[in-house]
């Protein structure tokens, strides 16, 4: 019987295979048309790079282990400038080293995909799962005026789905895109249905790419240096108009039992899996509790939060594997219309459903949450209009 790696490589679109999260990211990126991967090993994402090292040569792609994370991200810049689908992956300290290069990529309006399989920090921290890079991903991965879409998977299936989508978003808006996962999801094995393989030759044309003029057009130049202040301001304003379009089209979240909820948990990634269990336990106790799971961390799904507030939610609880970061965005979206609390574990410690349930019970008591009637176990994914 073939092992999971062989099954994944040979699987046709629509076939279920058992894969580790890191390997699902790699295989789906290949199927999305990625042919250039530049990285550097760091736990807990090394399996992703190892998978690329095995598979890229077999399909005519390029795998290169750079001498450092700084080198790797600048190699992504070069491949992206030439119009290729290129990506890199790392874990928290390595992503910090890539920050300057990501800023250059954004400044040159180049599409690229960056994966962060988070670990505890700051500094070298630990190799255990964490969500403490939320601020870095959504606020300050690099210097200057720029933002980038950030997607947070919560299952191995979503690892495959979101990386596939990320390349399309990067190309459409000419922007770097990040997949923000964590060590738990990277190491977890689950069944996954892989997407269809794309031939890079069939991907949309990139007339801006630096591929040589063939004496048919003016030179294309990939550059982020603008010595004229007014020219740079105009470019940044135009870039932010693009960001406004991303905000309008890429807000994504899943809601779970929020229609009648008094207390609503907001959690992403691995924390959302734990929080869903806490919601089920709370419902069994007769408490009206629901869950909003942000899928896009930037743009943050404020429209979905607004719908839940208008639906009558009396209190919100942000559950994270950090000391409190996404809670700031929850408070901004709620905009003072309901109290917003925080519960988190950090340093690589994973919160338990029981701990989250205790927080929910205390909040429900404060807001006078009434017992719930039997509620079906259903989910509903909502994207911003």
Q: pLDDT tens-digit profile of 98-108?
A: 999 999 999 99
> Which pTM value belongs to this model?
0.92
Assign 3-state DSSP to the chain and report helix, strand, coil percentages, each to 5.
Answer: 40, 20, 40
166's tokens:
């990320």
- Sequential DSSP letters for 271-328: HHHHHHHHHHHHHHTTB-EEEEEESEEES--HHHHHHHHHTT--EEEEEESSSSSHHH
Question: Do 4-212+238-248 and 255-369 fold alike per CATH?
Answer: yes
- What is the CATH number that goes with domain 255-369? 3.40.50.920
Domain ranges of the chain: 4-212+238-248, 255-369
The pLDDT, as a whole number, for residue 9 is 60
The pLDDT, as a whole number, for residue 14 is 76
Backbone angles phi, psi at 257, to 5 degrees: 55, 40
Which of 3.40.50.150, 3.40.50.300, 3.40.50.1220, 3.40.50.970 is the CATH number of 4-212+238-248? Answer: 3.40.50.970
Low-confidence ranges of the chain (pLDDT < 50): 1-6, 372-385
Using DSSP bridges, classify how beta strands 189-193 and 16-20 pair: parallel, antiparallel or unpaired.
antiparallel
Give the bridge partners for 371, in sequence order: 287
Is 359 in contact with 341 (CB distance < 8 Å)? Answer: yes
The pLDDT, as a whole number, for residue 215 is 75
Helix residue ranges per DSSP H, 40-117: 46-55, 69-81, 92-107
8-state DSSP, 222: -
Q: What is the CA radius of gyration of the chain?
A: 21
């Amino acid at each position: 019987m073939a092992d999971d790696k062989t099954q994944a490589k040979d699987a046709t679109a629509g076939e279920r295979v058992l894969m580790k999260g890191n390997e699902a990211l790699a295989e789906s990126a290949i199927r999305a048309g990625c042919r250039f991967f530049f990285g550097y090993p760091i736990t807990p994402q090394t399996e992703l790079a190892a998978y690329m090292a095995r598979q890229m040569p077999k399909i005519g792609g390029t795998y290169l282990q750079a001498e450092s994370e700084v080198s790797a991200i600048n190699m992504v810049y070069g491949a992206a400038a030439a119009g290729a689908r290129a990506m890199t992956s790392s874990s928290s300290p390595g992503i910090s080293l890539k920050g300057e290069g990501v800023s250059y990529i954004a400044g040159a309006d180049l599409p690229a995909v960056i994966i962060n399989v988070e670990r505890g920090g700051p500094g070298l921290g630990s190799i255990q799962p964490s969500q403490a890079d939320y601020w870095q991903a959504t606020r300050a991965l690099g210097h200057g005026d720029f933002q980038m879409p950030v997607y947070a998977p919560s299952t191995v299936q979503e690892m495959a789905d979101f990386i596939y989508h990320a390349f399309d978003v990067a190309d459409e808006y000419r922007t770097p895109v990040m997949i923000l996962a964590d060590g738990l999801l990277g190491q977890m094995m689950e069944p996954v249905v892989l997407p269809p393989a794309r031939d890079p030759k069939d991907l949309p044309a990139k007339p801006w790419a630096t591929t040589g003029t063939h004496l048919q057009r003016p030179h294309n130049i990939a550059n982020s240096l603008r010595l004229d202040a007014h020219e740079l301001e105009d470019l940044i304003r135009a870039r932010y108009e693009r960001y406004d379009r991303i905000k309008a089209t890429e807000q994504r979240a899943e809601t779970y039992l929020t229609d009648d909820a008094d207390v609503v948990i907001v959690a992403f990634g691995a924390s959302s899996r734990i929080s869903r269990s806490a919601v089920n336990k709370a419902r069994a106790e007769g408490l009206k509790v629901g869950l909003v799971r942000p899928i896009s961390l930037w743009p943050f799904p404020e429209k979905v939060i607004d719908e839940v507030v208008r639906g009558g939610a009396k209190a919100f609880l942000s559950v994270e594997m950090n000391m409190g970061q996404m809670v700031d965005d929850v408070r901004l979206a709620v905009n003072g219309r309901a109290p917003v609390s925080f519960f988190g574990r950090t340093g690589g410690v994973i919160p338990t459903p029981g701990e989250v349930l205790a927080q929910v019970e205390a909040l429900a008591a404060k807001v006078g949450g009434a017992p719930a009637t039997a509620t079906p176990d259903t989910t509903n994914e909502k994207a911003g209009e």
